[in-house]
Amino acid sequence: MAGTSSSIVAGLTAAAVGAIGLLAYQASATVPAGPGKAPASASPLAKVPRDRRNPLALPAMSGSGERVVYAMDDDRVWLVSDHNRVLRTFGVRPGSVDPLPGAYVVTSRSNAVTGTDGTPIEHVVRFTSVDGVTIGFSAAVDQNAAQVPDPMVRTGGIRETRADGEAMWMFATIGVPVIVMR
């Protein structure tokens, strides 16, 4: 009887270890490569055709489910619900460094900091970095300040109005997907 109990325990232990290994593998396949990196499954998105009758329409092939969609060529962002409904869309002013097209997730947030260009900013939502330059959405605290970018300063801040920045802040929490397209 003692030998049978040992065999059962050994079998259950082996099954549990195998199940944990499988779950660990599946989990690692869905984790982003790390801050500043696109997930391994992210493939560059080619420029997709826009709806010429409705230029504010969500771009085709931008994914599904809850996400932030950023179209670099249009300088436009869409906040999309988990039911694929556009909750808000707005124009943005990008920094001098663009992210690569692909799929990311929000990796960090700051309520208020100073941008790399020296501008006080708020509602900072970061999702990647390029060559050491952090890329994220933010709003300048003083919307009336002269905001002529210094061509000598490499910035990754994608600037939005304060109202749009607050909407982004409420929507884009840590882990929310960010889809970047041309």
Q: Look up residue 164 and give its two tokens.
A: 């749009």
- Looking at 1-119, which runs of residues are DSSP E strands? 67-71, 76-80, 86-91, 102-105, 108-114
Instruction: Please give the average per-residue pLDDT across 69-80, as a whole number.
Output: 96
Domain boundaries along the sequence of the chain: 1-30, 67-181
Instruction: Please give the average per-residue pLDDT across 19-33, as a whole number.
Output: 38
Instruction: Report pLDDT digits (tens) over 129-154.
Output: 999 999 999 999 998 765 666 778 89
Q: Which fold has domain 67-181?
A: L,D-transpeptidase catalytic domain-like (2.40.440)
Give me the pLDDT at residue 82, please: 96
Give me the pLDDT at residue 1, please: 55
pTM of this prediction exceeds 0.95: no
Between β-strands 67-71 and 108-114, what pairing exists: parallel, antiparallel or unpaired?
unpaired
Q: Look up residue 82 and give its two tokens.
A: 């988990």
Give 137 or 17, the one with higher predicted confidence: 137
Nearest Cα to Cα of residue 171 among 48, 55, 89, 72: 89
